[in-house]
Chain A
């Protein structure tokens, strides 16, 4: 540019200046326009329009403000602006599912949104004001919204005890326990039982090397060419507790060799009386008698057998002990006799009770098991392995520790590595950047990671030591929920006060009761003060409920009270002394404070009270809809035919006043009986004894015929 033209305003500069000004004005105008068009402001305005279409506009707009709404709870570290868009969240009239989001009301839950905020349960970014940033993870903000099907995980973050409203979470926690995840991982709230997998100190005396080889290769689960999952060759959905490890041929040989020489704690073999064996040797009924005894003792309460009916194979029986369909081909017969006689001598922590066997019964049952519960094809395709070499044993020993076998299985003298798998106590709160996704083609978020890892551990890490499990979708989701709930202790004191710890105190009394209790392993099926199994009734207050003589008779000869039950108490062949010890302890100790035995005297019951009670039972309250007396009635509640010799009057009275006070989760609804009615009903029930049938009334007979006429 020449010097003389400097500072001169030419028409060309004017033009440039004018155009530039216009452009800058336009650009400037964009900014307020953008602000006006902000996502949350649009939702604000559309809520206004939406509220106009509702009949209760005034109520809906009562606390409407055009600004950002925020729930700020400093005690809980919550700054939630969700209500800026989700404006109808507390409006009961907006609860219909057809209404558009984000204006729908939150479904009724025990927590108030104003006290808790939203992100405490739903996760996501509370302070964000854009839909995408609030709900999804971004590079800056990593916590995405928790998919609604895992929402129960949030309940479990604070409520360590099981809630009735969270079945999925409870199932997930159960699975974590059942599948022995706590063998390798640290999992808060999941208890580590005394024995995870069987003690293998003496496994060489129990099974052959070939059987171990097969088991390690395919732990019960066999997937056929059509993709059907089978257990021991039978189709079922049962997941074996032993997962499948990906082992090579040499690893299989090494581990099976190492385990087959584990015979450290020799068990003295028990010899059945030779006279018994000779007496039965020619009897063709030996096996069928053995089977009968097997059934009579209710082994099926804990063990299942595969039964084929009409072309369909099913496992029948319980799952506390192992399935026994082919056990005769698995175990050494000498070991079997010794085991049945004294299981706790071989495995101190076993759940199997010690039965009072006669030599005759023992012989019959073992012969039945070793001849009938067999499969000649069990070890088909397994190579003859012979005696293991020294190298194989060395390799097996090393693998046993490296593969994590020692985390669940005990071998005397072997020290397992502590904390074998990663600590999972805070897995549920991990950010995506803390996780290693490897080459897996999955969305990079926590939920996808957990599910991929559970389904195939090698998908995210090819070198994973974690074994392979077979999940169905609902179990996979349940276990994901339980893992997502593990976010560690709540960050703030406000929440810490609300944490409900899981309560479970081991119940192992001493003395003569304790000895009998441990021998029969009562706690495998029954609960005492919250400790024990849940297959059979809770016995915490059994001494208040049942009469002593009834307890003795029942223990000597357990018969079922509820005819619909399939799994029943086994026949222990209990001695008089053992039965009396158990009954005495229960009557003295297992008492409920609400059932005061001295307050009720059965002698005060008059015939008039009995007659009134019968009237109330049959006509006014129609208890026969759920209970059976004399062959007629429902079978929701227990059969009351023998109530007079079974239940104590004090228990019956307390029960009628408030069943939930005695057993909190019973389904019998609490009624509003008067004291006279309680007394009369108790008087009537106390007259009911087995063998003495109450006279059949016309109405009872009529109702039966009618029921049969209308029903199927």
Chain B
């Protein structure tokens, strides 16, 4: 009888010891409130909200300062300048046109301007204004909002992903 008591006490101790191994703390709950800046509404479907990474959000900021005037249909100041240009520049989310271009090509045309790449001189060079990092972030933003969605080339390995 006494042995029985001893054994049960030991068993309890063991259980108590082992139970310490259980992971404590619970999984942090995802924040219910909205992210205010790090998203962009899909240009073709305002209900679809695209989450942006830090780099893409930086690209968004630069886009709305520098590029929006000619590469979007609506601008913060009202109507877009796009219809004044010939040839009409592509919208930034125009995946049908831009998805086919490599990151390097877009980097070059932003940095060196349209003339240097055999395109319209209406695209000015931004190489003396934006840093290479800033240009890359604009490309990241372009890839994020592209419609149809941008698929990075399988092998060469784009730095930017659509998701």
The interface of chain A, by Cβ under 8 A from chain B, is: 12, 15-16, 19-20, 23, 26-27, 30, 33-34, 37, 39, 92, 95-98, 107-109, 130-133, 135-136, 147-149, 164-165, 167-168, 451, 473-474, 477-478, 564, 619-622, 625-626, 633-636, 660, 667, 669-672, 702-703, 706-708, 710-712
Contact = CB atoms under 8 A, between A and B. Distances in A.
Contact of B37 (A168, A660, A669): A168
Nearest to A33: B21
Interface stretch (B41-49, B51-59, B92-100, B101-109): B51-59
A12 B6 CA distance: 13
Interface residues of B, number: 54
A130 B25 contact: yes
B161 A97 contact: yes
Nearest to B159: A95
Given A27-B13, A626-B69, A136 B81 contact: no
A707 B36 contact: no
Contact of B6 (A16, A168, A473): A16
B18 A30 contact: yes
Interface string B4-15: 001100100110
Contacts of A147: 31
B124 A39 contact: no
Contact of B53 (A107, A478, A626, A669): A107
Q: A-B pairs with the 7 shortest C-beta distances?
A: A132-B25, A711-B83, A107-B54, A625-B122, A474-B36, A670-B128, A706-B86
A23 B14 contact: yes
Contacts of B117: none
Given A97-B53, A711-B88, A636 B128 contact: no
Interface string B49-82: 0000111001001000110011000000111011
A669 B122 contact: no
A530 B81 CA distance: 30
A706 B115 CA distance: 20
Given A23-B14, A97-B53, A636-B81, A669 B86 contact: no
B124 A633 contact: no
Contacts of B17: 27, 30
Nearest to B81: A634
Nearest to B121: A622
Contacts, number: 140
Given A30-B18, A667-B66, A672 B128 contact: yes
Contacts of A167: 37, 61
Contact of A107 (B55, B61, B79): B55
Given A109-B54, A165-B58, A131 B133 contact: no
Contacts of B26: 132
Contacts of B20: 34
A670 B33 CA distance: 41
Contact of B65 (A12, A95, A478, A667): A667
Contacts of A98: 161, 163
B86 A710 contact: yes
B34 interface: yes
B86 A703 contact: yes
Nearest to B161: A96
Nearest to B85: A625
Contacts of B115: 620
Contacts of B69: 626, 634, 636, 667
Contact of A564 (B25, B79, B159): B79
Nearest to B21: A34
Q: Which of B7, B34, B35, B115 has the most CB of A within 10 A?
A: B35
24 contacts: A15-B3, A19-B6, A20-B10, A37-B21, A92-B159, A108-B55, A133-B25, A149-B34, A451-B33, A474-B36, A477-B33, A564-B78, A620-B121, A621-B121, A634-B84, A636-B69, A660-B129, A667-B65, A669-B125, A671-B125, A706-B86, A707-B83, A711-B84, A712-B83
A514 to B, nearest CB: 33
B120 interface: yes
Contacts of A473: 33-34, 36
Given A27-B17, A149-B36, A711 B3 contact: no
Contacts of B55: 107-108
Contacts of A19: 6-7, 10
A141 B14 CA distance: 30
A622 B24 contact: no
B40 interface: no
A478 B36 contact: yes
Given A37-B21, A107-B55, A625-B84, 6 more contacts: A19-B6, A97-B161, A107-B54, A473-B34, A635-B84, A710-B86
A622 to B, nearest CB: 4
A132 B10 contact: no
B19 to A, nearest CB: 10
Given A626-B81, A634-B85, A136 B35 contact: no
B34 to A, nearest CB: 6
A286 B133 CA distance: 61
B157 to A, nearest CB: 8
A633 B83 CA distance: 10
B138 to A, nearest CB: 13
